[in-house]
C-alpha cells in the first residue's frame, strides 16, 4: 500500500479550486495503490478549511497553523516535516503560481523526482504521469523510475470533490526554523486594469478572431449583459489590444471552469482549448463546420455570429 499526501492551497481566506481537484486526483491515485489519502493545510483559517475539506476519499487532514497566507519558506518546511512524519509514497501539489514556487524546493529537500503539470495519474506497479507537450498538441506518458515522487497537478483536469466525508482532523506541529523564513506577505495589490476575475465566473461569453473589428466587441458584450455573464476572449483579441490580458482564456492566459462557456468566433486552437475544456457546458458559434472547437462543444451553432448573436440577445433580453 502507498499513501498520498496532497497539499491544498488557499488565498485571502478562501480555498482555491485546485484544492478540491487535488482531493479527486489523490483519491483516484490511492484507489490504485490501496493506501490512505492525507491532506495538508498550511496556514490560514485551518479549522474552517479542514471542515470544507472533510470529503469522501480523504482519510486524514493535517492542519499546520503557521501564518495567514502562503509563504514559500514555511510551506517547504511544513511539507517536509509532514513527509517525514507520514512517510507517503507520493506528494501532490498544484501546478499553480504557489505550487510551482515551492514544489521544486520540496522535491530537492526530500530528494524526490518532480513531475510537473500532470493531467493524468495512475499506478500499475509504478507511477505513470500523463502530460501534454508541444503546446498541448500531443500527450506523453512519463513512467517514474523511482519508488517515491512529487507531482504538480494541472488545475481544471480533475473534477472538484464534493461528496461529504468524515476524515480524521489532526493538528500538526513542528519546529519551524524562523531564521529560514526570509519573506512575509504584508498585503495584496491588484495589478493591471482588471476589474473582474474570469476564473470565478459561472458563465463566460468568450470572443475570438471572428469578431473581425474592435468595435464589434460591443455586440458580444450585449450578449454577456443579457445573460448576466462575464466577457472573456482568446489570445488574438488581447494581442490586438482590444481587451486586457486578464480577460484571456488559454494556455498563456487563464484556466477557467465555468458552468457555461460560450465561444463566439473562436476556432478552437489547442492553446485556447487548454484553458477552457474543463467547462461543464460548452457552446460554440462558428461559420466553419470543421472548426476544432466543435470537437469539444456540447452544443454548436454553425452560422455567422453577426446573425446568431443578435438573435440570442433578443431572446435573452
What angle do the packed helices 217-227 and 305-316 form, to 10 degrees? Answer: 30
Decide if 216 is inside a domain.
yes
C-alpha grid cell for residue 162? Answer: 464534493
How many other CB atoms are found less than 10 A from the CB of residue 200?
A: 10
Decide if 262 is inside a domain.
yes
Q: What is the CATH number of the domain that holds 302?
A: 3.40.50.1220
Decide if 235 is inside a domain.
yes
How many domains is the chain built from? 2
250: alpha, beta or left? (left if phi > 0; alpha if psi -120 to 50): left
Residues 11 and 153 in one domain: yes
Task: Calculate the alpha carbon distances from 25 to 39, 128, 168, 258, 288 in Å.
Answer: 12, 13, 19, 20, 36
d(CA 221, CA 145): 51
d(CA 65, CA 72): 15
Residues 158 and 233 in one domain: no
d(CA 212, CA 242): 11
What angle do the packed helices 72-86 and 97-110 form, to 10 degrees? Answer: 50
What is the model's pTM?
Answer: 0.77
38-73: b or e for each residue (b if 16 or more CB lie within 10 Å)?
bbbbbbbbbeebbebbbbebbbbbbbbebbebbbeb
Q: Which residues form the domain of 142?
A: 4-180
Which of 151, 180, 209 is where one domain is finished? 180
Residues 108 and 242 in one domain: no
Residues 234 and 123 in one domain: no
Residues 39 and 147 in one domain: yes
- pLDDT one digit per residue (tens) for the chain, 317 residues: 789 999 999 998 999 999 999 999 999 999 988 899 999 999 999 999 999 999 999 999 999 998 889 999 999 999 999 999 999 999 999 999 999 999 999 999 999 999 999 999 999 889 999 998 876 778 899 999 999 999 999 988 899 999 999 999 999 999 999 888 888 888 877 655 456 789 889 999 999 999 999 999 999 999 999 999 999 999 999 999 999 999 999 988 888 999 999 999 999 988 899 889 889 999 999 999 999 999 999 999 999 999 999 999 999 98
Decide if 191 is inside a domain.
no
Residues 72 and 145 in one domain: yes
Residues 153 and 205 in one domain: no
Residues 75 and 110 in one domain: yes
Residues 55 and 204 in one domain: no
Amino acid at each position: 500500500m502507498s499513501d498520498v499526501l496532497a497539499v491544498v492551497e488557499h488565498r485571502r481566506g478562501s480555498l482555491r479550486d485546485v484544492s478540491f481537484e487535488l482531493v479527486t486526483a489523490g483519491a483516484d491515485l490511492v484507489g490504485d495503490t490501496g493506501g490512505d489519502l492525507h491532506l495538508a493545510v498550511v496556514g490560514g483559517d485551518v479549522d474552517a478549511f479542514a471542515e470544507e475539506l472533510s470529503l469522501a476519499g480523504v482519510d486524514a487532514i493535517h492542519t499546520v497553523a503557521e501564518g495567514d497566507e502562503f509563504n514559500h519558506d514555511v510551506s517547504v518546511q511544513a511539507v517536509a516535516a509532514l513527509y517525514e512524519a507520514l512517510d507517503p509514497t507520493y506528494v501532490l501539489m498544484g501546478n499553480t503560481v504557489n505550487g510551482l514556487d515551492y514544489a521544486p524546493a520540496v522535491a530537492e529537500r526530500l530528494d524526490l523526482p518532480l513531475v510537473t503539470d500532470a493531467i493524468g495519474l495512475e499506478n500499475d506497479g509504478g507511477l505513470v504521469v500523463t502530460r501534454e507537450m508541444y503546446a498541448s498538441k500531443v500527450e506523453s506518458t512519463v513512467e517514474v523510475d523511482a519508488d517515491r515522487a512529487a507531482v504538480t497537478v494541472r488545475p481544471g483536469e480533475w473534477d472538484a470533490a464534493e461528496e461529504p466525508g468524515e476524515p480524521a482532523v489532526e493538528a500538526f506541529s513542528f519546529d519551524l526554523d524562523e531564521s529560514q523564513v526570509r519573506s512575509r506577505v504584508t498585503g495584496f495589490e491588484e495589478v493591471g486594469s482588471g476589474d473582474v476575475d474570469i476564473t470565478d465566473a459561472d458563465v463566460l461569453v468568450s470572443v475570438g478572431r471572428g469578431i473581425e473589428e474592435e468595435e464589434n466587441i460591443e455586440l458580444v458584450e450585449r450578449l454577456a449583459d443579457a445573460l448576466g455573464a462575464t466577457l472573456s476572449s482568446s489570445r488574438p483579441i488581447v494581442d490586438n489590444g482590444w481587451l486586457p490580458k486578464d480577460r484571456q482564456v488559454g494556455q498563456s492566459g487563464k484556466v477557467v471552469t465555468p458552468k457555461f462557456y460560450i465561444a463566439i468566433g473562436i476556432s478552437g486552437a489547442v492553446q485556447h482549448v487548454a484553458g477552457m475544456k474543463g467547462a461543464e457546458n460548452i457552446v460554440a458559434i462558428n461559420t466553419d463546420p470543421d472548426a476544432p472547437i466543435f470537437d469539444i462543444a456540447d452544443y454548436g451553432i454553425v452560422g455567422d455570429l453577426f446573425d446568431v448573436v443578435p438573435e440570442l440577445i433578443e431572446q435573452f433580453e
